[in-house]
């Protein structure tokens, strides 16, 4: 997707190391990774010792609280702002409007992506033209939050209202209001047509879909099925609200403490926006109360920065729960028009997948998410001879979508995996057997990955544990032995869906790390990896510990500080375990060379195989050993030669290994009322080696909850003027502990040859398949196909009554 040149490729395959665990590549045995031991830094979370961004507020004697005034209309111009009453209030330090000198007259994208971002530059920090209910107009800094809150209510805004465009399906109609003047947008993306509210358009084709579908229509032994699917808006529902503190430190440098997934991108983007040297900015990311893509963004930082410039004080903004639900970032709504043909003996002839996604008010992640709606699920079935994918991202006056766990895949999987079951049933085949016949396998050259980018983007699949996942899942859920309830109105069935994702953005990732050895043989690991709550710090400690033959307790992890930790693009696209993990692994291999140098010197063995194990370096030939502590002291305080033993490494690659999985949903449906009960959820997931199995299971279980919410709840709704209905948790269908059905998780761990100790990723892949698996279960139980999310009893009943 990126226009950036592909960076150099490094994989473990090229590693010259022969005297380590590589020898046992077929059946890897690990001491730390893949073992059942707790998250390395778990104790700070259960004691309250952990610090999130908001906790740093108390480090300042005098810090201003900021608040943002947001648009009350969906579309229009701010004609005038009267800030005088707010300015006169006691304890108000600054009031900023779109015309304030601290607000750069410059457009940028909020998408926290690598430079140059594949997202249009279409927004300013505060906005004169407002494009959704929630658009930031003005900002206040005051002595405390209550004062700031009262002050923004004293600001009087005069609007000129314009007709809002709320239905994304009519965004490209001739009579739809035009939302952007093309001159207002820089860094436009491929296929844009702002006169028709089109942010981007992309398409690609393998074979000849139109002819294949036409031929299929003619054949007696083939069926063509067409459906239009719809998936709604979803919130990330981040427990920790977006929070940012900006101040200048004792060296007069800007220090931005922020709840972000992308500290390095934030630093670069702020430097560009405010035209200050990158070196004058330090961004640190404390513990993060969830990201899920919602914090892969430059969101509050520019406003807090401006308030800091205006007040010359430390300033903090912590948004309210209402703002989280109305004015941060979201999963975009989308429709998919899907037409496919299958023969009676189960051959898929062609798939035509056309999607329109709602980019809402602005375009961050519009190109990359919208194209991912097709390019993420479609490569599951790469042997289909004719595949077409067309996507449009259109603007409306609804809230701004961004990145969210799955990144387009949940919308696309909802359509494709529903459709696959209907194709199977049309061919009179079991949907699981049908999938087994068609799904991707290890060794396949997957050309569908490059459908929008030319065949150069194909990838040889180096590990795929789908067969094992399917068989173990099938057995565990009792797929072949479903007992029907006694009540004749109730029907039980098991639905199934497959899923895949990536591990990082192919050709557009970089992570670097550094290891320093202390005198006592413990280590300080400096990694750019960004722990967003999923346990990356722990995973990096475990990877380093496994490499160095020590325990995670011997590794101090310092991460996510742009001053002290090496560069990393940040946590998104399921990149961290694979990309940052490989960087840490390479760093460990690097420092091992220096450790072995000292070991040889101290053991006086110029030759022989050396192994790091249990805090020692052992000569495997003679059995002689020297401890890391002995090496640490000797290297730092030795007589004839001294060295601080350090290692450096980085990782970038043009591939993105695929984690795979299968979802089973066991459901009972009442054919009179449409009501359904989920008896059990099961996912069997090929994540490569699970570095931290407990955390990997947690990702899967949490994903199923997030996906259950997506499958069954209306979530974010709006009135006819574009006002959001959801004000807080109570209006949003967040599952509670008693809402969750029984869940079972099976980890399938094929060793990926390019991953750190064989790891791929797990952060996103499990969020995709539940909605279609539930829809498929209902289809099999009572014979109706729900195409529009959410799946509700009312919709099922309406179809049953047809």
Partner 1 sequence: MIRYFLVYWGYPSGISMEIQLTINGEQRTVAVEKSESLLDVLRRLGYTGTNKSCDTGSCGMCRVLVDGEPRESCVTPAVQADGFEVETIEGLGTQDDLHPVQAAYVENSAMQCGFCTPGMVMTSVALLRENPDPTEEEVREALDDVLCRCTGYKKNVEAVLDAAERMQGKTLASDGGSKPVDPNTEDL
- Binding residue (CB under 8 A) for partner 1 from 5, 48, 277, 623: 48
Q: Least distance from C-beta 64 to partner 1, angstroms?
A: 15
How near is the Cβ of 127 to partner 1 at its closest, in Å?
26
Pairing of strands 610-613, 129-130: unpaired
Closest CA to 346 of 243, 420, 257: 420
Q: What minimum distance in Å lies between the beta carbon of 55 and partner 1?
A: 4
When asked if residue 740 is in the footprint of partner 1 (CB under 8 A), the reply is yes
How many amino acids of this chain bind partner 1 (CB under 8 A)? 55
User: For 346-494, where are the alpha helices, taking DSSP H only?
Assistant: 366-375, 409-426, 431-438, 466-477
Per CB under 8 A, 477 contacts partner 1: no
How many residues would you count in the chain?
A: 802
Q: Is 39 in the site for partner 1 (CB under 8 A)?
A: yes
* Residue 89 found at the interface with partner 1 (CB under 8 A): no
**Is residue 703 part of the contact set for partner 1 (CB under 8 A)?**
yes
CB of 736 to partner 1, least distance (A): 5
43 binds partner 1 (CB under 8 A): yes
40 closest CA partner among 538, 525, 522: 538
> Under the criterion CB under 8 A, does residue 51 sit at the interface with partner 1?
yes
Q: Closest approach of Cβ 662 to partner 1, in Å?
A: 18
d(CA 532, CA 291): 6
Neighbours of 240 (CB within 10 A): 19
Element (H, E) at 47: helix 43-47
* Least Cβ distance, residue 331 to partner 1 (angstroms): 14
Mark the segment that binds partner 1 (CB under 8 A) among 20-28, 128-136, 231-239, 653-661. Answer: 231-239
Smallest Cα–Cα separation from 358: which of 407, 400, 325?
Answer: 400
Backbone angles phi, psi at 456, to 5 degrees: -60, -15
113: exposed, middle or buried (C-beta count within 10 Å: 0-12, 13-18, 19+)?
buried
Q: Using omega within 30 degrees of 0 as the cis cutoff, is the peptide bond preceding 116 cis?
A: yes
Going by their DSSP bridges, the two strands 234-235 and 243-248 should be labelled as unpaired
- CA-nearest of 430, 292, 271 to 764 is 292
Q: Which of residues 676-695 bind partner 1 (CB under 8 A)?
A: 692, 694-695
Tell me if 16 contacts partner 1 by CB under 8 A: no
Distances in Å between the Cα of 514 and the Cα atoms of 31, 126, 616, 757, 800 are: 22, 39, 21, 19, 61
| Token pair recorded at residue 131 | 């494009």
> Looking at 346, 608, 698, 753, which residue binds partner 1 (CB under 8 A)?
698
CA angle, residues 428, 431, 435, in degrees to nearest 5: 120
Q: Which is nearer to partner 1, 86 or 610 (CB)?
A: 86
Shorter beta-carbon distance to partner 1: residue 48 or 623: 48
**CA pair distance 1, 471, nearest whole angstrom:** 34
Binding partner 1 by CB under 8 A: which of 22, 49, 593, 614?
Answer: 49
241 part of the interface to partner 1, by CB under 8 A: yes
Place of tokens 């398949």: 769
In the three-class reduction of DSSP (H, G, I as helix; E, B as strand; rest coil), residue 247 is classed as: strand
Written as six digits, the tokens of 278 are 């990158």
- Interaction mask 298-337, partner 1, x per CB under 8 A: --------------------x-xx----------------
> Of these, 290, 393, 599, 685, which contacts partner 1 (CB under 8 A)?
290
Segment interacting with partner 1 (CB under 8 A) among 235-243, 276-284, 329-337, 621-629: 235-243
Q: Which residues contact 70 (CB under 8 A, 6 or more apart)?
A: 133, 134, 135, 136, 137, 323, 326, 327
Smallest separation, CB 762 to partner 1 (Å): 12
Q: Which is nearer to partner 1, 133 or 705 (CB)?
A: 705
Cα 539–542–546 angle (5° rounding)? 145
Q: Kindly indicate which of the ranges 406-414, 474-482, 492-500, 723-731 contains the residues binding partner 1, using the contact rule CB under 8 A.
A: 723-731
Cβ proximity to partner 1: between 422 and 531 the closer is 531
Our finding on whether 670 is near partner 1 (CB under 8 A) is: no
The one segment of 41-49, 425-433, 610-618, 666-674 that binds partner 1 by CB under 8 A: 41-49
Kind of pairing between the strands at 254-258 and 243-248 = antiparallel
For residues 400 and 363, give the distance between their C-alpha atoms in angstroms, rounded to a whole number: 8
286 contacts partner 1 (rule: CB under 8 A): no
Q: Does 533 bind partner 1 (CB under 8 A)?
A: yes
Retrieve residue 621's tokens.
């030939």
Instruction: Tell me the CB-side half-sphere exposure of residue 684, using CA atoms within 13 A.
Output: 20
Q: In the structure encoding, which two tokens stand for residue 450, read together?
A: 């490059």
Among 208, 468, 675, 701, binds partner 1 (CB under 8 A): 701
43 versus 441: smaller Cβ distance to partner 1: 43
Which distant-in-sequence residues (6+ apart) come within 8 Å of 623 by Cβ?
Answer: none
Residues 672/489, Cβ–Cβ less than 8 Å: yes
d(CA 332, CA 398): 10
Q: Which is nearer to partner 1, 4 or 43 (CB)?
A: 43
Q: How far apart are CA 772 and CA 300, in angstroms?
A: 35
Q: Residues 100, 114, 154, 534: which binds partner 1 (CB under 8 A)?
A: 534
Exactly one of 7, 19, 30, 50 binds partner 1 (CB under 8 A); that residue is 50
532 binding partner 1? (CB under 8 A): yes
For partner 1, the closer of residues 366 and 533 by Cβ is 533
- Judge contact between 735 and 774, C-beta under 8 A: no
- The interface region with partner 1, picked from 108-116, 162-170, 727-735, 747-755 by CB under 8 A, is 727-735
| Strand segments (E) across 518-641 | 523-527, 555-559, 610-613, 616-619, 625-627
CB nearer to partner 1: give 7 or 320.
320
Q: Does 554 bind partner 1 (CB under 8 A)?
A: no
Of 16, 736, 801, 802, the one binding partner 1 (CB under 8 A) is 736
Residues 382-441 that bind partner 1 (CB under 8 A): none
765 binds partner 1 (CB under 8 A): no
Nearer to partner 1, 591 or 695 (CB): 695
Least distance CB 562 / partner 1 (angstroms): 21
Please report how close the Cβ of residue 56 comes to partner 1 at its closest, in angstroms.
9
Least Cβ distance, residue 500 to partner 1 (angstroms): 21
Would you count residue 729 as binding partner 1 (CB under 8 A)? yes
Bridge partners, 559 (sequence order): 527
- Residue 679 — φ and ψ, nearest 5°? -80, -35
Task: Tell me whether strands 348-360 and 610-613 are parallel, antiparallel or unpaired.
Answer: unpaired
Cβ-based nearer residue to partner 1, 548 or 681:
681
Stretch 128-167 residues interacting with partner 1 (CB under 8 A): 146
Interacting stretch for partner 1, rule CB under 8 A, among 358-366, 390-398, 664-672, 698-706? Answer: 698-706
On whether the CB atoms of residues 102 and 139 are closer than 8 A, the answer is no
From candidates 503, 582, 704, 761, binder to partner 1 by CB under 8 A: 704
Token digits of residue 500: 């895949």
Distances (CA, A) of 45 to 294, 541, 654: 21, 17, 36
Smallest distance, partner 1 to C-beta of residue 268, A: 25
One of 663, 699, 712, 768 touching partner 1 (CB under 8 A): 699
By CB under 8 A, is residue 705 in contact with partner 1? yes
Burial class (CB in 10 A: 0-12, 13-18, 19+), 801: exposed
Q: Does 706 bind partner 1 (CB under 8 A)?
A: yes
Q: Name the residues that contact partner 1, by CB under 8 A.
A: 38-39, 42-52, 54-55, 58, 146, 237-241, 287-290, 292, 318, 320-321, 532-535, 692, 694-695, 697-699, 701-706, 728-730, 734, 736-738, 740, 743
């Amino acid at each position: 997707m990126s226009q950036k040149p592909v960076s150099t490729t490094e994989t473990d395959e090229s590693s010259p190391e022969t005297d380590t665990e590589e020898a046992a590549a077929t059946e890897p045995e690990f001491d730390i990774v893949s073992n059942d031991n707790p998250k390395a830094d778990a104790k700070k979370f259960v004691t309250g010792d952990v610090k999130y961004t908001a906790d740093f507020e108390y480090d300042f004697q005098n810090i201003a609280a900021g608040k943002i005034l947001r648009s009350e209309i969906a579309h229009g111009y701010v004609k005038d702002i009267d800030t005088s009453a707010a300015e006169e209030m006691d304890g108000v330090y600054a009031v900023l409007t779109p015309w304030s000198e601290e607000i750069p007259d410059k457009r940028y994208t909020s998408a926290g992506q690598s430079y140059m971002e594949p997202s249009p530059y279409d927004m300013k920090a505060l906005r004169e033209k407002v494009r959704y209910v929630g658009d930031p107009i003005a900002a206040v800094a005051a002595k405390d939050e209550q004062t700031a809150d009262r002050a923004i209510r004293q600001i009087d805004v005069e609007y000129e209202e314009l007709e809002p465009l709320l239905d994304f399906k009519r965004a490209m109609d001739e009579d739809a209001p035009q939302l952007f003047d093309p001159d207002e947008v820089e860094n436009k993306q491929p296929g844009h047509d702002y006169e028709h509210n089109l942010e981007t358009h992309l398409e690609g084709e393998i074979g000849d879909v139109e002819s294949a579908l036409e031929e299929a229509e003619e054949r007696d032994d083939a069926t063509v099925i067409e459906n239009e699917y719809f998936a709604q808006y979803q919130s990330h529902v981040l427990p920790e609200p977006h929070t940012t503190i900006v101040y200048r430190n004792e060296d007069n440098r800007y220090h931005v403490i922020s709840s972000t997934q992308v500290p390095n991108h934030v630093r670069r983007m702020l430097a560009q926006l405010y035209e200050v040297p990158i070196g004058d900015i330090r961004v640190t990311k404390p513990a993060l109360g969830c990201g899920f893509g919602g914090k892969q963004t430059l969101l509050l930082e520019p406003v807090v920065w401006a308030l800091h410039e205006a007040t010359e004080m430390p300033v903090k903004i912590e948004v309210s729960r209402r703002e989280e639900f109305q004015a941060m970032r979201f999963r975009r709504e989308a429709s998919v028009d899907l037409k496919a043909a299958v023969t009676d003996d189960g051959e898929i002839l062609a798939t035509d997948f056309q999607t329109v996604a709602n980019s809402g008010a602005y375009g961050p992640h519009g190109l990359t998410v919208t194209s991912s709606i097709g390019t993420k699920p479609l490569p599951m079935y790469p042997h289909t001879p004719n595949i077409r994918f067309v996507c449009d991202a259109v603007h409306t006056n609804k809230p701004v979508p961004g990145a969210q766990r799955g990144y387009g895949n949940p919308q696309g999987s909802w359509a494709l995996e529903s459709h696959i079951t209907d194709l199977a049933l049309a061919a009179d085949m079991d949907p699981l057997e049908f999938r087994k016949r068609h799904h991707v396998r290890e060794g396949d050259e997957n050309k569908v990955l490059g459908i929008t980018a030319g065949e150069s983007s194909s990838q040889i699949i180096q590990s795929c544990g789908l067969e094992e996942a399917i068989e173990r899942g099938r057995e565990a859920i009792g797929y072949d032995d479903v007992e029907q309830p006694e009540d004749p109105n109730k029907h039980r069935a098991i639905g199934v869906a497959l899923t895949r994702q990536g591990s990082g953005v192919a050709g557009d990732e970089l992570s670097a790390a550094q290891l320093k050895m202390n005198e006592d043989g413990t280590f300080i690991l400096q990694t750019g990896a960004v722990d967003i709550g999923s346990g990356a710090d722990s995973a990096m400690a475990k990877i380093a510990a496994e490499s160095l033959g020590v325990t995670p307790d011997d590794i101090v992890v310092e991460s996510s500080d742009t001053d002290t930790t090496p560069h990393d693009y940040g946590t998104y696209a399921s990149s961290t375990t694979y990309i940052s993990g490989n960087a840490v692994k390479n760093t460990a291999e690097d420092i091992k060379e220096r450790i072995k140098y000292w070991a040889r010197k101290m053991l006086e063995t110029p030759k022989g195989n050396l192994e790091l194990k249990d805090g020692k370096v052992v000569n495997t030939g003679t059995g002689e050993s020297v401890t890391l502590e002995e090496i640490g002291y000797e290297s730092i305080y030795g007589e004839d030669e001294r060295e601080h033993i350090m290692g450096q490494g980085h990782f970038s690659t043009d591939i993105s290994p695929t984690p795979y999985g299968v979802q089973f949903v066991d459901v009972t449906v009442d054919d009179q009322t449409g009501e359904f009960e989920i008896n059990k959820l099961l996912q069997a997931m090929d994540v490569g080696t699970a570095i931290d199995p407990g955390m990997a299971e947690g990702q899967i279980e949490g994903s199923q909850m997030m996906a259950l919410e997506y499958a069954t709840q209306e979530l974010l709704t709006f009135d006819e003027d574009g006002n959001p209905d959801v004000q807080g948790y109570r209006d949003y269908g967040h599952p509670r502990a008693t809402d969750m059905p029984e869940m079972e998780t099976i980890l399938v761990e094929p060793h990926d040859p390019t991953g750190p100790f064989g790891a791929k990723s797990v952060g996103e892949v499990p969020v995709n398949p539940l909605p279609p698996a539930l829809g498929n279960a209902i289809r099999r139980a009572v014979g109706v196909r729900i195409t529009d999310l959410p799946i509700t009893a009312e919709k099922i009943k309406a179809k049953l009554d047809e």
